[in-house]
Amino acid sequence: ARMASERIEIPLVIGGRRGIGAAVVQALSDGGTEVTYTWRTAPGDSPAAACRLDLADRAAGELFAQEQEAAPAWDAYVHVAGTTYDTLAAVMEQDAAETVMQVNHWAFARIARAVVRPMLRARAEFVSVLKFWLDRGVDGFRVDVAHGLVKEQNLADWTQAGPVLGG
């Protein structure tokens, strides 16, 4: 279980069992990232953490979403799950069309809302700490602290000593 005080760099991949999702999980795992992914029918061969989630099951999707709202924020969210259908919705049987809508739209929207909101709250907390000190007259922050707002995680840290600009 993830603890609120821990800083964990783990992406959540919805639909990481097959196809593009499995490729995403594999690429992240190969890069040394600890990944958590969801599966519907059976977990894959990946050593990544996996949990069952059937997006066609509205109650299961809602429970998963509620769990995400109560958990610490994920560092990244990738949603590649979904039902493919080679026919226009206008010619689908109603049951099939409703399943496609549940999986591809309603479940996606509910889970995205549940996962993204804690991510935004975590960033907002960081910004509020900066604002607190700026409101009290602090002139600025050390770059090695403030870069957490904008620094891409995969960019190398600055290690070269000396002036940045010559002159």
Q: Round to whole Å and give the CA distance between 37 and 53.
A: 9
Structure confidence at residue 85 (pLDDT): 62
Output the average pLDDT for the chain: 78
Q: pLDDT tens digits for 13-72?
A: 999 998 989 999 999 898 888 999 999 988 888 889 999 999 989 999 999 999 999 888
Q: How confident is the model at residue 8 (pLDDT cuts 50, 70, 90)?
A: very low
Name the pairing type of β-strands 49-52 and 11-14.
unpaired
Angle (nearest 5°) at CA 153 between 121 and 163: 115
pTM for the predicted model, two decimal places = 0.64
Q: How many angstroms from the chain centroid is the CA of residue 156?
A: 22
What's the count of helices (H) and strands (E) in the chain, helices before strands? Answer: 5, 4
